[in-house]
Amino acid sequence: MLLHKIIRNDFELLAPAGDWERLEMALRYGADAVYLAGKEFGLRAAAGNFDREELRRAVALAHELGRKVYVTCNTLPREEELQRLPDYLAFLNEAGPDALIIADLGVLALAKRFAPDVKLHVSTQLGVVNSATANVLYAMGADTVVLARELPLDEIRSIRANTPPELRLEAFVHGAMCVSFSGRCLLSNYMTGRDGNRGECAQPCRWKYSLMEEKRPGQYFDVVEDGGTYILNSNDLRMIEHLQDLAEAGVSSFKIEGRMKSAYYAAVVTNAYRHALDAVAAGDPVPDVWVRETDMVSHRPYCTGFYLGGEPGQNYPGTYETGADIVAVVESCDEEGNAVVTQRNKFFAGDELELLTPTGEPIRFTVTEMTDAEGERLEDARHPMMELRMKLPKAAPRLSILRKRRNA
């Protein structure tokens, strides 16, 4: 059952799906399309990702719900990897995703040959910053270009004005940002031997660094920048309050970063942007509740990146923050709110929780009584993934979320 009005005009909400649970959450909470990867050729090798049978199932599930699936083939493959690519592309052509996300011109050419039935999207990794490049890629067969993250809104407007209207423009609206230009970074390769451009980034830009003077080995000195020494780190992007600006600039696909992040993140952020984008499509302002929802997941301090100008596109905080923690997920629930849930973090009878569903604002309630699968009353939910029975404030669909605010 579709739990959201899916926008059928030019707007698309594109959410990450790092594994099957995150795929279900993204679809349940309102994504028009999801992007995911197979076990090779995707830039998030450490995500769960999908084997070939899982990928077929993912495409089938999304299509059953009227949604789309884009498969990332956005690494920069070396010669040996290139030899394995035609077989994989032919498999994808048979599996039937809606598009491939590609960062390499050679891979683009191979995809046209071995996956002729699948649309081609050009990854942000290719660094599209002007209309000339976008037009060349369109002439080569690209259906969509994912714009470089370094572009301000006025340049996006210019690109839109100087490209065919049939070429869709996609842009990131939320999530982690890379300190390097469009993700083209060798820092991980130099420091760990793990190539970020082949899906194995160790994220050394997130590490804490100190200064050491050569004549005083072993003595480390903080390189302080506003209270931290994470001198290569960056803020997280949040554009939920500026979706109308992006739409007016010509963006039609709004992309959430996060295939490495939790299923809780996939649900909450997708849900927030779904409601926000629906408001924009209706000509209404984005309600504050959905802006606040983005504070309920683990994140670095937010900024608007390079889009608006007037502030640094990157910054250097080292800390994460979050407003709430997931404690359980609804497995089933009747019309009276009698639910079976599975525990994710410890909580107690008497705790004040929030119920988050795909169809409305979060609802606060107090846990009055819990029982185990045998009907024995419990004072706390202490075992990971244990099954509980409890009363919710209203009927809630499967994969609804129970969470506890940190300031509660």
Q: What are the residue ranges in the chain where pLDDT is below 50? A: 1-8
Give the largest Cα separation in the chain, rounded: 72
Residue 44: predicted pLDDT: 59
Residue 384: predicted pLDDT: 86
d(CA 105, CA 379): 59
The answer to whether 391 and 373 are in contact (CB under 8 A) is no
The answer to whether 144 and 168 are in contact (CB under 8 A) is yes
| Amino acid (one-letter) located at 67 | R
Q: Which domains can be identified in the chain, with CATH numbers?
A: 12-182+236-303 (3.20.20.70), 324-405 (2.40.30.10)
Residue 5: predicted pLDDT: 40
Burial class (CB in 10 A: 0-12, 13-18, 19+), 311: exposed
* Contact partners, residue 333, CB within 8 Å, separation at least 6: 339, 340, 392, 395, 396, 397, 398, 400
Can you give the length of the chain in residues? Answer: 408
| Amino acid (one-letter) located at 141 | G
Residue 32: predicted pLDDT: 97
Helix (H) or strand (E) holding 73: strand 68-73
3-state secondary structure 289-344: HHHHHHHHCCECCEECCCCCCCCCCCCCCCCCECCEEEEEEEEEECCCCEEEEEEC
Residue 9: predicted pLDDT: 57
Helix (H) or strand (E) holding 169: strand 168-176
Give bridge partners of residue 70 from the DSSP assignment: 35, 99
Residue 170: predicted pLDDT: 98
Find, among 126, 38, 140, the residue nearest to 89 by Cα: 38
